[in-house]
Amino acid sequence: MNGVDLRGARVLVTGAAGFIGLHASRALAATGATVVGVDNYEPYYDVELKRARADVLRRELGVDVVELDLADPAATRALFADARPTHVVHLAAQPGVRYSLENPAAYLRNNVDAFGHVLEGCRHGRIAHLVYASSSSVYGATHTLPFSEDQPTDTPVSLYAATKKADELFAYSYSHLFRLPATGLRFFTVYGPWGRPDMAPMIFSRAILAGTPISVFNDGDMYRDFTYVDDIVEGVVRVLARPPAATGAIGPAPHAIYNIGNHEAVRLTDFIATLETLWGRKVVRESRPLQPGDMRETYASIDRLTALTGFTPRTPLATGLAHFVAWYRDYYGVRA
């Protein structure tokens, strides 16, 4: 992938049956790395979609995605002992801002406890580099745009965001104490084929095809840094190949944080209109107020990531959504 060579690396991908996990596993395999996948197949959304992604990895790469709960410390220790990874891409998490209001325990278990066990596995396994998923949600009540890594992140407005901020702090501590090279990536809004059912392209496409109304929050006056999944995973792979340096036994921790996104905000109404054009149908829009925990506008400054890796998203929204619609037609058998 654009000159990245990870031959000889053995990469554990957590959440491999997830949306980004599938694409990241493919991209890593393309660099020559050996991929080991794990997923707990959490029924937060359609488990059959997760199984289908795992089938893709099995057919294309010969990767069997092990079913395992990372919140189980003994199981996670055994995973690291058996898999013997040299690198870890930790994508497993409980997603969703709104659901964190309904089931906070799932976020503490899957985003905090599980990550702690992964950190322990990395520590004792002497992992060369841990890359883990954080989120743009950590910026919380910060309203300076674009979001940059220098801005404070101590005002999360959802429990989901708070757990992701906690992950960053835990990772830094492990890097400081045990010299574990670790990089957190603050993902902005990712879209593309094999996306989650609770994400905007899937929600809007189902409504467009069914002729049912869609809820448009804040009158559609919301902006997101929509980034095509292939661009995102290219950034992940490039980062994995560049672990932060440790400077001495008690020097700065080998830990880094980067935004990863498209650095251009797209208005929600424009996003919907592009999907309507691709499907050739209109949708009825019902206005709803801004939801608790949601932010009106997010987009990233990616200057630091670009300087480190040369990462630059290249996929226009219309092109990326066209790929998504083509996949949706094939996967769900939509012929009209």
Q: Which of 160, 174, 223, 258 is catalytic?
A: 160
When pLDDT is averaged across residues 275-296 and rounded to a whole number, the result is 82
At residue 2 the predicted structure's pLDDT band, cuts being 50, 70 and 90, is low
What is the pLDDT at residue 1?
61
Name beta bridge partners: 266. Answer: 224
pLDDT digits (tens, 9 = 90+) for 65-96: 999 999 999 999 999 999 999 999 999 999 98
The chain-wide mean pLDDT, for the chain, equals 93
**Whether residue 45 lies in the annotated active site:** no
pLDDT at 296 over 80: no
What is the pLDDT at residue 56?
98
In 3-state terms the chain splits into helix, strand, coil percentages (rounded to 5) of 45, 15, 40
Helix (H) or strand (E) holding 14: strand 10-14
pLDDT digits (tens, 9 = 90+) for 215-235: 887 666 688 889 999 999 999
Least confident of 96-110, 182-196, 283-297: 283-297
Q: Which CATH class is domain 10-188+228-263+301-313?
A: alpha beta
Strand 65-67: give its sheet, edge to edge. Answer: 65-67, 34-39, 10-14, 87-90, 129-135, 182-187, 255-260
At residue 330 the predicted structure's pLDDT band, cuts being 50, 70 and 90, is very high
When pLDDT is averaged across residues 13-40 and rounded to a whole number, the result is 98
CA-based angle 235:90:194, to the nearest 5? 65
- SS3 state of residue 189: coil
In this prediction the pTM is 0.94
How buried is residue 195: exposed, middle or buried, by Cβ count under 10 Å (0-12/13-18/19+)? Answer: buried
pLDDT digits (tens, 9 = 90+) for 122-171: 999 999 999 999 999 999 877 688 999 999 999 998 999 999 999 999 99
What is the pLDDT at residue 161?
94
Pair 200, 267: CB distance under 8 Å: no
Name beta bridge partners: 285. Answer: 214
pLDDT at 273 over 90: yes
